[in-house]
Structure 1
């Protein structure tokens, strides 16, 4: 495990080192990524090197603004400090958005700051940056979002916007390294192969039972399923999202070391395990699937029978560690 962490630390240090003149350092940045196996940017793609906290300290921004951005970074990388209030599993924001939310091909968070407000198919209306962050708390953290306009929400949003410094709003070019780009889906997925691959490649960090690893109450490796994981409404329950994350980032420190088939099989196995109920649950799994299948669950295993034993996934009212299903932030928006 130490060797894996060392590899990840080395890669992160190369990618996240302070950059004085981005135009002069961009070649080094891209070379580091391509040496790790990532594709080089296409001519039409926007390449952005997010600023570091060191660069923040060197800036001439107001000291109070710097303090708020640092607080946002602290909350992003240690979201567990909100456990029991806003977070009800063992996730941090940085559990999925690696490298402090800066890492390309690991859903870097700065694009949200320059593409929102924007329409989101998941909830069918235009979302603000705060609403997008609230969605992560609701689904990925199985929690209750900080109040809109609160100190906590302001700090996290400010950190997102700091990482996007220098990028124009609504960029016309496609963003290089955005999201979790999924490899091409194989013709057939195998639960049995995924189960064995998880045991061989993933369990050393995430546990044989998928419950992750916490030391003295601090998350070291998150749980990929179960009550300590994301709920059925989180983006990573979609097979292509999970396969993209796994292919580009796992095992830790060994990105792109798995074949496309292996990444998809692990995603298939992992997302065929139970987790807390989708906060949009209507009280009936089939009805919920019909309602949200066209926009979301058509890509997940929710409401499907598990290959290994025929269990109907999501057919329960378990909400994990929280004592509620849906926070009041999950609501429609209309401009009528």
Structure 2
């Protein structure tokens, strides 16, 4: 990639020095110039920069027509996961509720990195996960549901969509990935529930409702619920305060990314993640025991089991499973791997 002149003078060197997946074209780089113009950081020297292909590009791709059908199905499931409501999904979420821009958007946990870094060890469940297992985790926690079976048509389609977005990116890259995850700004010294509540009412309630129940119009899903029975459960990654702060800072309010201060993003995240939601499916029947078991690997960064300041309520101390009720249990939670290799 050669240097070029643009209005974003500070990106010129980075353009030449970042590792560009699959000889990225200047047209593709324009997406990243737009991000920098909006205030996102420019890629650093040595970072892997990848612009995922679009669905329009799929039509021109030299792939078998049947594979294209499966990728389209994966895209359809990813952007409208509510079609699996009552079978695999038991809340008001789509995959694209958290992974914005059809799963392509940097700083909104784009999904293509999962296709090039997995199989890999995952601290959340303490074993090596493949792509299907990673997707299954989203169904169990973020969707408060139970995943499609491994190897099923729906799981294959979702995996194919992830891998299509990774087209041209190297497997197991040895450099950082630009725009991966929900990078959080530096945590302020103090977080305020009251400030967070006011910040939520001022900036978020118009789309997600004052009570956090989300927004439906004429019975149709529009915006997700950030807490409550229609939201993700206590095991979802975004209930961790730093993860929520990163999502909010980089993506919210919708259409106005980076418009909130770091303090506002953290305060709003603190307020939202100290609201109740369905129980963690790993719940043992006792919140203290569950916290002891999963605190070191997950809940050390959430408010699970903490006592809320203003009313003394202990978060997560309940047996509310949301819409799925007590009978629906995600079959993938607690599934052991490679037990014969422990010695």
Q: Give the TM-score category using the shorter length.
A: over 0.9
Distance 1:21 1:252 in 2: 31
Give the TM-score of the pair, scaled to structure 2: 0.91
- Would the alpha carbon gap of residues 260 and 325 (structure 1) be closer, same or farther in structure 2, given more than 3 Å must change? farther
Q: Which residue in 1 is equivalent to 2:165?
A: 163
The secondary structure found in structure 2 opposite 1:140 is coil
- Partner-residue secondary structure (3-state), 1:321: helix
Once the two structures are TM-superposed, the CA of residue 21 in structure 1 deviates from its matched residue by: 7.7
Deviation >3 Å, runs of 4+: none
Offset from partner CA, 1:90-126 (integer Å, 9 cap, x none): 1000000000000000000000000000000000000
Partner of 1:202 in structure 2?
Answer: 204
Aligned counterparts of 2:56 and 2:204: Cα–Cα separation in 1: 33
Partner of 1:125: 127
Could you tell me which residue of structure 2 aligns to residue 5 of structure 1? none
1:297-336 to 2 correspondence within 5 Å? Answer: 297-323=299-325, 324=327, 326-330=329-333, 331-336=335-340
**Secondary structure at the counterpart of residue 162 of structure 1:** helix
Q: Please state if 1:148 is matched with 2:150.
A: yes
Give, in whole Å, the separation in 1 of the partners of 2:29 and 2:97.
28
Among candidates 55, 58, 63, match of residue 56 of structure 1: 58
Contact kept? 2:146, 2:328, Cα under 8 Å: no
Are the aligned partners of 1:250 and 1:256 in contact in 2 as well (CA < 8 Å)? yes
Match of 1:211 in 2: 213
Aligned equivalent of 1:86:
88
Higher Rg: 2
User: Are 1:265 and 2:255 counterparts?
Assistant: no
Q: What is the rounded CA distance, in whole Å, between the counterparts of 1:326 and 1:332 in structure 2?
A: 16
> Hey, what's the Cα distance between the residues in 2 that align with 1:217 and 1:271?
26
Contact 2:183–2:243 (8 Å) recurs in 1 = yes
> CA offsets per residue over residues 199-250 of structure 1, 9 Å max, x none?
0000000001000012243321100000000000000010000000000000
Residue 39 of structure 2 is matched in structure 1 by 37
SS in 1 for 2:159: helix
Q: In structure 1, how many angstroms separate the alpha carbons of the residues matched to 2:35 and 2:331?
A: 41
Give, in angstroms, the shift of residue 332 of structure 1: 1.9
Under a length normalisation based on structure 1, what TM-score does the superposition of the two structures give?
0.93
- Provide the residue aligned with 1:13 in structure 2: none
1:261-302 superposed Cα distances (whole Å, 9 cap, x missing partner) = 100000000000000000000000010000000010000000
In the TM superposition, residue 26 of structure 1 has moved relative to its aligned partner by: 4.2
Superposed, which structure 2 residues align to 1:172-251 within 5 Å?
A: 172-251=174-253
Moved more, 103-112 or 321-330: 321-330
- For the 8 Å contact 1:280–1:326, the answer to whether it is kept is no
Of stretches 302-311 and 89-98 in structure 1, the one that deviates more from structure 2 is 302-311
* C-alpha distance in 1 between matches for 2:247 and 2:310: 24
Residues 277, 325 of structure 1: 8 Å contact kept: no
Kept in 1, the 8 Å contact 2:29–2:51? The answer is: no
Q: 1:31 Cα deviation (Å)?
A: 1.3
Unaligned ranges ≥5, structure 1: 1-19
Counterpart Cα distance in 2 of 1:68 and 1:29: 27
Equivalent pair of 1:80/1:218 in contact (CA under 8 Å): no
Which ranges in structure 2 are unaligned for 5 or more consecutive residues?
1-21
Q: What SS is found at the alignment partner of 1:219?
A: strand
